[in-house]
Each structure stands twice: as structure tokens, then as C-alpha cells.
Amino acid sequence: MEILKMVYAFMFTGLFAIGGGLATIPFLQDMAKKYGWFTIKELLDMIAISESTPGPIGINMATFVGIRVGGYLGGIIATLALAFPSVVVILLLIPVLDKYKESPLTQGIFYGLRPTSAALIAAALIGFIKMVLFNSGLVALSEINLVNLILLLAFIGLIKLKDPHPILVIALGAVIGMIFKLA
Amino acid sequence: MRILVDLFTCFFKMGLFTFGGGYAMLPLLQKEIVEDRAWASEEELLDYYAIGQTTPGIIAVNTATFIGEKQAGIKGAIVAVLGLIAPSILVISLLSGALEKYHESAVVAGALAGIRIAVSALIFMTVIKMAKSAIKDRGGLFIFGLALLLILGFSSPIVLTVFVGAGLGLLLSRRQHGNS
């Protein structure tokens, strides 16, 4: 029974959480209150761990909660339940988009959507850079983390000059972080 | 069949090397999907992200569904999504007993801090590339600037920002049409 409730709760989350992994957090908070599968404090730990294990954060949280509630099978079921509504919505949307692709209305919408999408990504980037460069999250010159600033510039230079595969860049970041015990 | 295997391995790789949200996946998508495999153009990838952020669910799953469907129909979509989520399920299942300890280890914390810097640099270069293909004229630049101002200055919700962008796009492209 617990598993059925979990399928429902995660499908509900997948259908109504709009805007990516972090948008699922309020739904997970509700789950904590409604079903008592985990406490709010445990949820905070799960969010932190989901950010630090491979994979999109929303997917990681679903697997994590699922394992808590129903073991390994629960982990698989919760993850599939979360992803299912996305797949259905996009599959329904694709034929509509294809049909009206050439219409001036769609063209106009995408003319506006592309720069907006780029702006959303740029805003997310600014958030990341703040987190990397400022020790306490406080944006002030005295709080700047010089080691991280130099590394960030070095990485940008490396990518610009050599264009290595992103996986190599990520692996290099992990190794440097371990050697220099970055924080 | 080969395309299905390719979709699965490609998205498995994405899942395995994405740390954080859907945005962290973007540089990998750009390299593997746009540059190496030509499964989507730069513009299409931006469209998928815009749509992925305004439709229900995880952005990464929405994008995988789009790309999978374009390559091999519904089967392709399902295989791409399964490839994307498989590493999460595997890693978290394997670590589930030791996750608290894993999370608190200094080595892991150092590695993650390094990864954050690397990913920021990667996204920085990706944003530059994407902005070049997204902003084609002054109207586009105006929409980009306004959207950025809305999000950073007024903490505008994503869905609202996307609607404003789409509306302005409609308005501005209409006007250009009328003038020509």
C-alpha cells in the first residue's frame, strides 16, 4: 500500500513541479508532513546528498526517498513515477509543435523564447558563480575566495584554448578539489 | 536498434556526469548532442530548455524525451529517459547505506567544490555560445536583457518570465512583419 501511495505522490510531483529539480522540494516537504516517510531534517540531508551524487538532483531525490520508503524496488518505482508525467507531456506536445512549426505565431513565440531561455541559463550561471566565489554567500569584496577565482579563470582559459570534453573538465575539477581540499 | 543503444549510452553518460540540476547538464548536451552527434541544433536545444522549464517535470527528463523522440520516436524517448535516470538509481542504491558518511567525508567535499568550479566554467562558455545563436538582432537582445532583469532584479518566477518572453517575441516579430 505504501508503494502505491508513493507512486501517486511522485506522479503528482512530476505533473505539478514546473521548473526542474529544485521545484520538487515543496512537494517533498508536503510528503514529509502528509505521509511521515521522512522528517524535514532528513529531507535537508537528502537534498544535500542529491546535489553531490551524479545525476539530475530531482531524479536523485526520488530514488533516495523511494529507497527509504520501499527499499531498492521503491527507489526504482519512485524515480519512474516522477519521470513518467514529463515523458507523456512532452510526447503530447511534440506533434503539436511540429504541426505549427512554420506558422508565424509559433515563429514569433520562439523568437522570444530563445533569448529568454538564454537569460534563464545566464541567471542560473550567476547563481553558481556567486556560490563558487564568495565564502559565506555574501557578495562582498572581503568575502571573495581568491583560490576559487583563479581556478575558475584558469578553467575558462583551458576550455577556450583547448576545448576539452566536458567530462574531462569535470574530472579535472574533482581531482584538483581533492588535492587542494577546496571548500 | 543501434540508435537506441546510442541514445541509452549517450544519456547514461549525461546522468553519470551531471552534478546538480538540469543546467549542469547543458555543457554535456551541447558537446554530445549538438557538436558530436548533430541530433539537435543550438537553437533547438534552447527551445527544448525553454519548453522543459515551462512544462511539468524535471528539465533533464523533458530534454531527454525531446531528443529521444526526434531520433527514434516514442521508443527513443523512453530509452533516452531510462539511460538518464539509470546512473542515479545505480549510484544511490549502491551508496544508500553509506550516504551520510560519504557526504561528510572531506575528500568528497573537496572533489565537489572542484567540480562546482569546473561546471561554472563550462556553463560560462556554453552561455556565450548559446547567447550568440539566441540573440540575432536588437529585439532579441532587448528580450534577453529584460528577462535577465526580471529574474535577477525582481526574482520573477520562471514560468512568468517565459510567458513575458514569448509574448514580447510575438509582438516584436509581428511588428517586423508589418514593416517589411
**SS3 readout for A77-89:** HHHHHHHHHHHHH
B108 and B42 housed in the same domain: yes
Helix axes A104-133, B158-179, angle to 10 degrees: 140
**A152 to chain B: which residues are within 8 Å by CB?**
117, 120-121
B126 and B152 housed in the same domain: no
Beta-strand ranges (E) seen in B13-62 are 19-20
Q: Which helix (H) or strand (E) holds B88?
A: helix B59-95
**Rounded percentage of chain A residues whose pLDDT exceeds 90:** 29
Residue A93 in contact with partner chain B when CB distance is under 8 A: yes
Residue B28 grid cell: 554535456
Q: How far apart are CA A174 and CA B115, in angstroms?
A: 5
Using left for φ > 0, alpha for ψ between -120 and 50, and beta otherwise, residue B172 falls in alpha
Last residue of a domain, one of A40, A67, A99: A99
Q: Which domain covers residue B161, as residue numbers?
A: 135-180
Last residue of a domain, one of A99, A121, A147: A99
Question: What pLDDT was estimated at residue B6?
Answer: 96
B85 and B165 housed in the same domain: no
CB B161 within 8 A of CB B147: yes
Write the residue in A83, A110, A182 that is nearest to B110 by C-beta.
A182
Question: What pLDDT was estimated at residue B177?
Answer: 61
Residue B49 in contact with partner chain A when CB distance is under 8 A: yes
Q: How far apart are CA B98 and CA A123, in angstroms?
A: 35
pLDDT in tens, A41-83: 788 778 878 877 888 888 988 998 899 888 899 999 999 999 9
Please report which confidence band the pLDDT of residue A149 belongs to, taking 50, 70 and 90 as the band edges: very high
B100 and B149 housed in the same domain: no
Closest chain A CA to residue B127: A122
A108 and A51 housed in the same domain: no
A66 and A114 housed in the same domain: no
Q: Which domain covers residue A160, as residue numbers?
A: 104-179
Q: Which helix (H) or strand (E) holds B12?
A: helix B2-17
B129 and B162 housed in the same domain: no
**Between chains, do B148 and A167 touch, taking CB under 8 Å as contact?**
no
- Residue partners of B137: CB distance under 8 A and separation at least 6: none
Residue B27 in contact with partner chain A when CB distance is under 8 A: yes
Write the residue in A52, A116, A173 that is nearest to B114 by C-beta.
A173
pLDDT in tens, A113-128: 889 988 988 888 888 8
Write the residue in A19, A87, A176 that is nearest to B53 by C-beta.
A19
A95 and A7 housed in the same domain: yes
Question: What pLDDT was estimated at residue A105?
Answer: 87
Between residues 74 and 113 of chain B, which touch chain A (CB distance below 8 Å)? Answer: 74, 77-78, 81, 84-85, 87-89, 91-93, 95-96, 99-100, 102-103, 106-113
Between residues 6 and 65 of chain A, which touch chain B (CB distance below 8 Å)? Answer: 14-22, 24, 45, 48-49, 51-60, 63-64
B23 and B106 housed in the same domain: yes
B9 and B97 housed in the same domain: yes
- Give ∠ CA A54-A59-A61 in degrees, rounded to 5: 90
Measured over the CA atoms of residue A80, residue A55, residue A9 and residue B74, the dihedral's sign is negative
B161 and B103 housed in the same domain: no
- The total of structural domains in chain B comes to 2
B96 and B116 housed in the same domain: yes
pLDDT in tens, B138-161: 999 999 999 999 989 998 887 888
A93 and A26 housed in the same domain: yes
Question: What pLDDT was estimated at residue B180?
Answer: 45
- The total of structural domains in chain A comes to 2
A111 and A58 housed in the same domain: no
Alpha-carbon dihedral B83, B88, B90, B93, rounded to 10 degrees:
-150
CB B56 within 8 A of CB B38: no
B12 and B99 housed in the same domain: yes
Q: Comparing A16 with B5, which gets the higher pLDDT?
A: B5
Task: Report, as ranges of residue numbers, the positions in chain B whose pLDDT lies below 70.
Answer: 99-100, 103, 176-180
**Between chains, do B19 and A108 touch, taking CB under 8 Å as contact?**
no
Closest chain A CA to residue B55: A18
Last residue of a domain, one of A79, A99, A119: A99
A53 and A20 housed in the same domain: yes
Coil, helix or strand for B136?
coil
Q: Per-residue b/e over A67-105, b at no fewer than 16 CB within 10 Å?
A: bbbbeeebbbbbbbbbbbbbbbbbbebbeeeeeeeeeee
Mean pLDDT of chain A: 87
B72 and B142 housed in the same domain: no
A95 and A6 housed in the same domain: yes
CB A14 within 8 A of CB A81: yes
- Give ∠ CA B20-B21-B27 in degrees, rounded to 5: 90
Type of residue found at B44: E
Please report which confidence band the pLDDT of residue A21 belongs to, taking 50, 70 and 90 as the band edges: low
